[in-house]
Chains A and B, each alone.
Chain A
Amino acid sequence: SQKIEQNSEALNIQEGKTATLTCNYTNYSPAYLQWYRQDPGRGPVFLLLIRENEKEKRKERLKVTFDTTLKQSLFHITASQPADSATYLCALVRTGFQKLVFGTGTRLLVSP
């Protein structure tokens, strides 16, 4: 069956360190993959999109990699800040479809 897996355990890191979150998928051939940030009680907010023919994408302190051989995307936040504390969701679109399929999300906690 098709699955998207994100680490369900919260990731705790210290301010200034790099946070790395993982998104693994099975039985999909995604056209692209997206990362969203969700704060408690709020809707997700789009952060980055990476296509199947791209290896890496950057935006300010954020970096996303996409390895279609490993079927994995990594999401990095460098120089993390307490304000980065949130749940981060990965989502992918199956090739030929319009619908997004979301992972369960990983909660990031950045302590001062």
Chain B
Amino acid sequence: DGGITQSPKYLFRKEGQNVTLSCEQNLNHDAMYWYRQDPGQGLRLIYYSQIVNDFQKGDIAEGYSVSREKKESFPLTVTSAQKNPTAFYLCASHLTGQETQYFGPGTRLLVL
């Protein structure tokens, strides 16, 4: 099956801890994105990457980091600097030249 997978489905973070959310796609898409979704605020862009080994900050990058070492993988690390990490995190990808973004099932991050 082709698609985007995210893991884990639920993630718990302790105070001061860094956690990493996984995003993998086998659609051969060039571009990948990370969004954060809070109730009543819609999706906000954290980071995006249009090619391997390159990524750009989105609108709310502070407290987050990413890497893009492989085309199919775009992990997101929520660092201890992110003071309000509780949210639903969505990964998406699209093929260059096409406009539709394909989303993963999401990871819900909760703080203990």
Chain A interface residues toward B at CB < 8 A:
4, 8, 32, 34, 41-46, 49, 89, 91, 93, 98-105
Interface SS of chain B: strand
Contact B40 A99, beta carbon cutoff 8 Å = no
0/1 interface trace, chain B 24-65, chain A, CB 8 Å (1 if under): 000000010001000011111100101000000010000000
**B39 → A minimal CB distance (Å):** 9
**A29 → B minimal CB distance (Å):** 16
Question: Which chain B residue has the least Cβ–Cβ distance from A6?
Answer: B42
Contact A34 B99, beta carbon cutoff 8 Å = yes
Q: 5 shortest A-B CB distances, which residue pairs?
A: A43-B103, A104-B42, A102-B43, A102-B42, A46-B100
Assess whether B90 is interfacial by the CB under 8 Å rule: yes
Interface SS of chain A: strand
CB-defined contacts of B99 to chain A, threshold 8 Å:
32, 34, 49, 93
The contact of A42 among B4, B101, B105, by CB within 8 Å, is B105
Contact B42 A44, beta carbon cutoff 8 Å = no
The contact of A44 among B40, B45, B103, by CB within 8 Å, is B103
Q: In the complex, A69→B36 CA distance in Å?
A: 31
Contact B41 A44, beta carbon cutoff 8 Å = no
Contact B101 A100, beta carbon cutoff 8 Å = yes
Assess whether B104 is interfacial by the CB under 8 Å rule: yes
CB-defined contacts of B50 to chain A, threshold 8 Å:
98
Contact B42 A99, beta carbon cutoff 8 Å = no
